[in-house]
Amino acid sequence: MIRIQARTEPSSLMKVLSPVLAIVLTLIFGSILFTAIGKSPSQALHVLLIAPLADSYNIGEMFVKMAPLLLCAVGLSLCYRANMWNIGAEGQLLAGALGGSAMALYFIDSDSVFALPITLLAGMVSGMLWSAIPTFLKLHFNSNLILTTIMFNYIALYLLIWAVHGPLRDPDGYGFPESAMFSDATMLPTLFESSRTHLGIVFAVLAGVVGWFILSKTHLGFQIRVFGADEPAARYAGFSGKKLSWFVMLFAGALAGLAGIGETSGPIGQLVPNVSPGYGYSAIIVAYLGRLHPIGAILAAAFMAVLYMGGDLAQIEMGIPVAVVSMFQGVLLFFLLACDFFINNRLSFTNQATN
Amino acid sequence: MKLKSLLVSLGLLAGASLVHAEDPFKVGFVYVGPVGDLGWSYEHDMGRKGLEEYFGDKVETTFVENVPEGADAERVITQLAKSGNDMIFTTSFGFMNPTVKVAKRFPNVTFEHATGYKLSKNLGTYVLRTYEGRYISGVTAGMMTKTDTIGYIGSFPIPEVIRDINAVYMGAKSVNPDVKIKIVWANTWYDPGKETDAANALMDQGVDILLQHTDSPAPLIAAEKRGLRGIGQASDQSKFAPKAHIFSVRDDWSPYYIKQVQAVMDGTWEPKDFWGGFQDDMLTLASINSNLPADVRAKIDETHDKIKSGEFKPFTGPITDNKGNLVVPANHSLTDVELAKVNWYVEGITDEIPR
Amino acid sequence: MDSDLIIQILFAAIKTGTPLLFIALGEVICEKSGVLNLGQEGMMLMGAVVGFLAAYTTGNAGLGVIAAMLMGSIMSLIFAFLVLHLGANQVATGLALTIFGTGLSAFIGSGVVGQTLQGFQPIAIPLLSDIPYLGRILFQHDILVYTSFVMTFVLMFVVNKTRIGLTLKAVGENPHAANAIGIKVLRVRYLAVMFGGVMAGISGAYMSLVYTPMWVENMTAGRGWIALALVVFASWRVGRIMLGAYLFGLASIMHLVLQGLGWSISPNLLAMLPYVATVVVMVIISADKFKEKLLSPRSLGKPFDPRQMA
């Protein structure tokens, strides 16, 4: 007979194995699904996961897609470690895109070398502002962070749409809801010839490394880890929960803001109503898949980026509806959460023949 | 010089004919909505099917639906170009800048972008003279309204929509001097829920004939429920509201797609800003309801014939805007370039264009 | 504005508020048991698409609603199993449910995009609908709107006046104490989560069978998230949820009404209003720590493991 038993110590092996297992289970689910709709599962999985990496252009595109996911996920990993349930990366990203783009449009006729850094800074500050308000409300008014950050996602979205229909609309754009194209001085430089891969991916990987360094090598990171694992103990040790909360939230806000301005100053090149196809929400999956570890987030973001691109390819090559991408994301997270159960529990096989 | 260009074009022709001796001419389509929206994207897809039907094995088409107008559009268009499409139609305004960028990178592929205003040597644009259909709709609505109030659900205050509102009002006024028009902006192209709300808000305020610049059949369904009338948009929407439906102004893109693909095959294609209307069979009146009064029906046919023959052009002066400026002088009909810039309401519309 | 117009606006506010009312009633019960389910949007979309498919194939809108309720409860069971049995994080699991539901609904609904059907027709209730003003606002709706009225009053009674309500609150306030006095905490939470799923299903069916009788991808347009706001806005009180739902409904159509009257107000700034209002209300009610404890279920979002006794 099989019984479930609590482990005395959380299994560090399962912690690493769980995402791998979840991905395998998701692929099995996908194969069944594709067979059910009459598509060859091997071909579908190939188009979904291998074809996106087939040539240098596609690999470049993977980096484009990865940058915003990774930037958001690194910040979220730190937040969740510190028990700050920030669902607001999407809003912080949009705020960053809005604030940064306003700055970029201010520099529209400029060729100053400072235009780009100031634009990026404006994006980061806007993102920080957007995470600061819910943090303030939580720490001083005891508001539920999950709910306020969700509200702020919507407020940011409507603010952005308002701006792009109003004050930031291109005056020569025939009234269409989009801003003027940014000048080259405020565009993130691309890294390779004939590719859209831009400096954003460098920032993102750097953010991952910095996040890892803070978390594992500094006293601040130690406090965050203790705080997340055992809040009373952390308080007893005299750690300031307020200070830690402010730090992780502002860090996450700045990174998400950078992700936002990185989209408008990067692949899009102007402010449009559709800046993000939900990067801020997908980043939550990335953070979990990466085990709330900044380095793990790099791998997870790459996987998620491939999945997104595979979705488009699957539609072009095989006529598979693009909705499978969000199905895959959801199922992946389900399996991951289920597999995580075995970090703290194990199956024990007992011989009950005598019974 | 002349000889050289002759040789080049001969070479091109030879190359071109060589290509379609071997494999079919590949055409890609990018849609902003689902092909099932029964409005804008649906009609483009009908155009694609018309193209396939006309050329048979000689063309092969691919489409990608639900493409967001953000950073992903450029990748999708690039992927279509990379997978060997000879010609690519991008069918929404928001694809303009991505199309421009991809067109630059793939000089051997021909691009056409609907509703935009940027041309290059391998990128043309095309747009419908929807205002012609609106004028007929206005005449009909002006005759049929009992409350002397017609309603218009706007999408976004861009020149195309402003132009069409003017055409509706001028048409209505030509048969009913007391007519008023109420305009509500839904700020969406396709959102049945919001369109229903907008339709009800208008009908609550005395509107008895609904016109819409949004694509779903929801306003017609709402009119049917309340025993009022409406005019179908973009596709034949008669089945959604058998009693309420007056007629639909149907977009028909297939003549254009056939013509342009043929032009590229023949090597005669040139980048142009093309405007198509009733004369080009790109607009048709579909499913005129049999329950219309005879005089209304006669007037519809008369107006239609006058527009189709080119005898009558709606934007012919003198036209004064609602601030008292003469915007079209007497005996002048607006040229296409001028039509693209209409940003005024004609005299008698009491609203202001949202800024 | 004449009285006719006001009546019609209020009538429309009730119609727009009804899907919010259904889903928020489900969520409040779920939250009262101490479980926060962020998967509302996903369950609602699945309810909408399955409800439409069932009604479309059978030609019976009633069967559509039943199918939607079933679908909603199946979705909620996935959530309940992960959260209650496997102790998974509620936030992440809810989010997964929403993402999954969004994709799956688009996937299975692609065949019926652009189809329409006869949904429920309005029924004027005899006598009641003749009451001046109120009759036209309240009693000329369809059967689902009346169902939402009844549900609200039944839930008010059950939550505030019965043993079931007490049990539910005990589990949400202090699951360990509830467990100690012999209440089966997990069973109560399972039922509460499932109730949330059923209500999300009806809410989705209302969208695809009544509100706009057709299926469109993502047609719930964030109503599942608004419902979460609404529950906080109503400070976890059933009666206030009804009021809040109609207020939110009104807010979402007001910009259209005002435009028709010739006012120009940015629809996007107005669309922000419900969210801003919710944040403000949340700050007001939670600023007072004592009051907040009275209102929000104390164990909200925290897992309960019967093996770990506090």
What pLDDT digit, counting tens, does each position of B113-163 carry? 998 889 999 999 999 999 999 999 999 999 999 999 999 999 888 888 999
C218 falls in which pLDDT band (50, 70, 90)? confident
Last residue of a domain, one of B128, B157, B177: B128
Average pLDDT over every residue of C131-146 = 88
**Rg of the Cα trace of chain C?**
20
B274 in a structural domain: no
More confident residue, B71 or A71: A71
Point out the residues of chain A with pLDDT beneath 70. Answer: 1, 350-355
| Residue among B256, B307, B298, B303 at smallest CA distance from B278 | B307
- For residue B63, the surrounding DSSP H or E stretch is strand B59-64
> Is B333 domain-assigned?
yes
- Are B8 and B147 in the same domain? no
Q: Are residues B175 and B237 in the same domain?
A: yes
For residue B184, report the phi and psi dihedrals to the nearest 5 degrees: -125, 130
What Rg, from alpha-carbon coordinates, does chain B have?
Answer: 21
Give the angle B165-B167-B170 at the CA atoms, nearest 5°.
110
Q: Is the same domain home to B218 and B296?
A: yes
Q: Is the pLDDT of residue B175 over 50?
A: yes
- CB contact C239 to A (< 8 Å): no
Closest partner residue to B184 (CB to CB) among C9, C217, C259 is: C259
In B, minimum Cα distance to C113 occurs at B36
| Chain C: closest CA distance from residue B244 (Å) | 15
pLDDT computed for residue A352 by the predictor:
55
For A206, the domain range is 61-210+240-292
Task: Write down the pLDDT at residue C229.
Answer: 84
State CA C193 to chain mean position distance: 12
Closest-CA distance of chain A to residue C160, Å = 24
pLDDT at B205 over 60: yes
Per DSSP bridges, beta strands B319-320 and B326-328 are: antiparallel
What percentage of residues in chain B have a pLDDT greater than 70? 93
- Give the three-state DSSP class for C87: coil
Both tokens of C274, joined, read: 């419900």
Domains identified in chain A, total number = 1
Angle between helices C3-32 and C143-161 (to 10 degrees): 50
Report in angstroms the alpha-carbon separations of A136 from B88, C273, C298. Answer: 50, 21, 21
If asked whether residues B96 and B158 sit together in one domain, one would say no
- CA-nearest of C165, C152, C160 to C241 is C152
Peptide linkage before C19 cis (omega within 30 of 0): no
Q: What is the pLDDT of residue A319?
A: 80
Backbone dihedral angles phi then psi of residue C225, each to the nearest 5 degrees = -75, -40
Q: Cα dist. C185→A183, B344, C90, C91 in Å?
A: 60, 65, 16, 20
Q: Does B316 touch chain C (CB under 8 A)?
A: no
Which amino acid makes up residue C31? E
Q: Do B60 and B168 share a structural domain?
A: no
Residue A267 lies in a domain: yes
Helix (H) or strand (E) holding A3: strand A2-6
User: How large is the average pLDDT for residues C277-287?
Assistant: 80
Q: Which residues of A touch C291 (CB under 8 A)?
A: none
Query: pLDDT digit string (tens) for A86-131?
Result: 999 999 999 999 999 999 999 999 888 999 999 999 999 999 999 9
pLDDT number for residue A12: 83
**Using CA atoms, how far apart are residues B212 and B232, in angstroms rounded to an integer?**
8
- Do residues B183 and B94 share a domain? no
User: Is the pLDDT confidence value at B12 over 50?
Assistant: no
Residue in chain C lying closest to B182 (CA)? C260
Average pLDDT, chain C: 88
Distance from CA of B193 to the nearest CA of C (A): 6
Test C82 with A152 for CB contact under 8 angstroms: no
What CATH number does residue C28 fall under? 1.10.3470
Say if B345 falls within a structural domain.
no
Q: Is C240 a domain residue?
A: yes
Range of the domain at B231: 132-250+291-339
Cβ-in-10-Å burial (0-12, 13-18, 19+) of C222 comes to: middle
* For residue B6, pLDDT beyond 50: no
Cα separation, C112 vs C110, whole angstroms: 6
Tell me if B143 is assigned to some domain.
yes
Asked if residue B183 is part of any domain, the answer here is yes
Q: Name the residue in chain C with its Cα closest to that of A164.
A: C268
Answer whether residue B267 is part of any domain: no
Identify the residue whose tokens are 């003469």: B326
Report the C-alpha gap between B196 and B216 in whole angstroms. 9
Q: Which of A240-244, A316-320, B298-302, C271-275 has the highest mean pLDDT?
A: B298-302
Residues on chain A touching C104 (C-beta within 8 angstroms)? 323, 327, 330
ipTM over 0.85 threshold:
yes
CB C101 within 8 A of CB C43: yes
Q: Find which of A174, A188, A195 to mutate to test the B interface (most B CBs within 10 Å of its CB).
A: A174
| Spatial distance between the Cα atoms of A285 and A73, rounded to a whole number of angstroms | 8
Mutate to test the interface with C, among B152, B195, B205 (most CBs of C within 10 A): B205
Radius of gyration, CA atoms only, chain A: 22
Query: pTM of the entire structure?
Result: 0.89
pLDDT digits over C69-96, tens only?
999 999 999 999 999 989 888 988 999 9
Number of domains in chain C: 1
Q: Which residues does residue B185 pair with via DSSP β-bridges, in sequence order?
A: B154
B319: phi > 0 → left, psi -120 to 50 → alpha, else beta; which? beta
Q: Helix count (H) and strand count (E) of chain A? A: 13, 2
The tokens for B236 are 């034949």
C68 domain residue, yes or no = yes
- The residue in chain C having the minimum alpha-carbon distance to the alpha carbon of residue B183 is C260
Q: Is C310 domain-assigned?
A: no
- CA dist C302 and A87 (Å) reads 17
**Gap between the Cα atoms of B218 and A239, Å rounded:** 58
Q: How far apart are CA B117 and CA C45, in angstroms?
A: 38
B71 touches chain A (CB under 8 A): yes
DSSP code per residue over C41-55: HHHHHHHHHHHHHHH
For residue A268, is it within any domain? yes
Closest CA to C196 of C309, C32, C36, C29: C29
Which candidate, A260, A122, A119, A99, places its Cα nearest to that of A184?
Answer: A119
Q: Which residues are CB-neighbours of C203 under 8 A, at least 6 positions away?
A: C19, C20, C22, C23, C26, C44, C47, C223, C227
> What burial class does residue B174 get, using C-beta atoms within 10 Å of its C-beta: 0-12 exposed, 13-18 middle, 19+ buried?
middle
C149 and C15 Cβ atoms separated by less than 8 Å: no
Whether B117 has its CB under 8 Å from any CB of chain A: the answer is: yes
Percent of chain C predicted with pLDDT > 70? 95
Are A159 and A133 spatial neighbours (Cβ–Cβ below 8 Å)? no
Cα–Cα distance between C96 and C87 in angstroms, integer?
Answer: 15
Final residue of a domain: which of B84, B101, B128?
B128
B285 found inside a domain: no
Residue A111, min C-alpha distance to chain C (Å): 34
- Report which residue type is found at A103: M
Determine the residue of chain A that is closest to B355 in CA distance: A166
In a domain, B246, yes or no: yes
Distance in Å, alpha carbon of A130 to nearest chain C alpha carbon: 14
How confident is residue B355, by pLDDT bands cut at 50, 70 and 90? low
Q: In this structure, what CATH number is given to the domain that contains residue B313?
A: 3.40.50.2300
Pairing label, strands A2-6, A345-349 = antiparallel
Inside any domain, residue A168: yes
Contact of C193 with C28, CB cutoff 8 Å: no
To the nearest whole Å, the CA of C171 is away from the closest chain A CA by: 20
- Of the listed ranges A230-244, B36-50, B54-68, C56-70, the least confidently predicted one is A230-244
Asked if C75 and C13 count as a contact pair (C-beta separation under 8 A), the reply is no
Mean pLDDT of chain B: 89
Q: In Å, how far are A261, C21, C137, C138, C147 from C141, measured between CA atoms?
A: 47, 15, 8, 7, 10
Q: What is the DSSP string of A81-120?
A: HTT----THHHHHHHHHHHHHHHHHHTTT---TTHHHHHH
Q: How far apart are CA A155 and CA C279, in angstroms?
A: 10
Nearest CB among B204, B221, B239 relative to C5 is that of B204
Residues 6 or more apart in contact with residue A43 via CB below 8 angstroms: A318
- Candidate from A196, A277, A317 with C-beta closest to B70: A277
Domain of residue C20 covers: 3-114+126-295
Residue A341 CB burial class (10 angstroms; 0-12, 13-18, ≥19):
middle
pLDDT > 80? residue B111:
yes
In a domain, C148, yes or no: yes
**CB contact at 8 A, C223 and C20:** yes
Confidence of residue C293 (pLDDT cuts 50, 70, 90): low
Q: pLDDT class for B34, splitting at 50, 70, 90?
A: confident
In a domain, C278, yes or no: yes
Domain-embedded: residue C309: no
Please state the rounded mean pLDDT for residues B219-233. Answer: 93
Place of tokens 């907040």: C292
Q: Which among C212, C256, C259 is the nearest to B218, CB-wise?
A: C212
CB B34 within 8 A of CB B61: no
A266 — phi, psi (to 5°)?
-110, -110
- Across the range B52-76, mean pLDDT stands at 91
